[in-house]
A and B are shown apart, each in its own frame.
Chain A
Amino acid sequence: MKKIQILGAGCPKCKKLAENAELAAKALGIEYELVKVTNIAEIMKFGVMMTPALAVDGVVKVAGKVPSVDEVKPFLS
């Protein structure tokens, strides 16, 4: 099971990223767990300086941008 983490305080971009990640995971038919990390101290532990960010299984794939559904798919494959 893939662990998808959305790093961000909960702004509209964070919500859009979560939505895109979920759509990508569903399109790929993978098992996943989506976790929203909103605590700044926890976000900083990832070394992320810009949000929103997307991490998969603890590895940050993109930060400071909202990738499209198609752009998220390779990160989950």
Chain B
Amino acid sequence: MAKERSCCCSTETKTILACSGASNVGQITNEVAKELDEAGEANFFCLAGVGGHVSGMVASVKGADKVVVLDGCPVACAKKTMDAAGIAGYEYLVVTELGIEKKHDFNLAPADVEKTRTAVRAKLGLSVCCG
């Protein structure tokens, strides 16, 4: 079922993959990917499927017009997963590089989520036409 797009007339396929790791920054990637999917601005895609070399998932990511990969920290699990699957040519963002400190808790500061969401939307090319 087609999602209703909040804005932008592009039919470009935008896909987000998040590390969704076990820390505040990992969960921020998950939260932002989930929110953007729910807003109809991108498709949140299953990184585990890429890591598991599920052919349909790998092919779907390769077939997307734009792919943004999110890592919470410089360990870069998501990036390494993409590399292992032979997928290149994607936009990339690390949450800690936005100045957000990694903690081993799941208390997501709304301001940190907002900062990350803004950065991800820019990577998706949404900032110009979607405000």
Contacts and interface: CB of A to CB of B under 8 A. Distances in A.
B63 A47 contact: no
Interface stretch (B54-62, B83-91, B120-128): B54-62
Interface of A: 7, 46-50, 53, 55, 59-65
A64 B63 contact: yes
A46 to B, nearest CB: 4
Contacts, number: 51
B75 to A, nearest CB: 26
B55 A50 contact: no
B118 interface: no
A76 B60 CA distance: 19
Contacts of B49: 47
B13 interface: yes
A63 B13 contact: no
A7 B124 CA distance: 27
Contacts of A55: 55-56
B13 to A, nearest CB: 6
B43 interface: yes
Contact of A65 (B45, B54, B56, B63): B63
B109 interface: no
Interface in B32-62: 43, 45-46, 49, 54-60, 62
Contacts of B63: 50, 53, 62-65
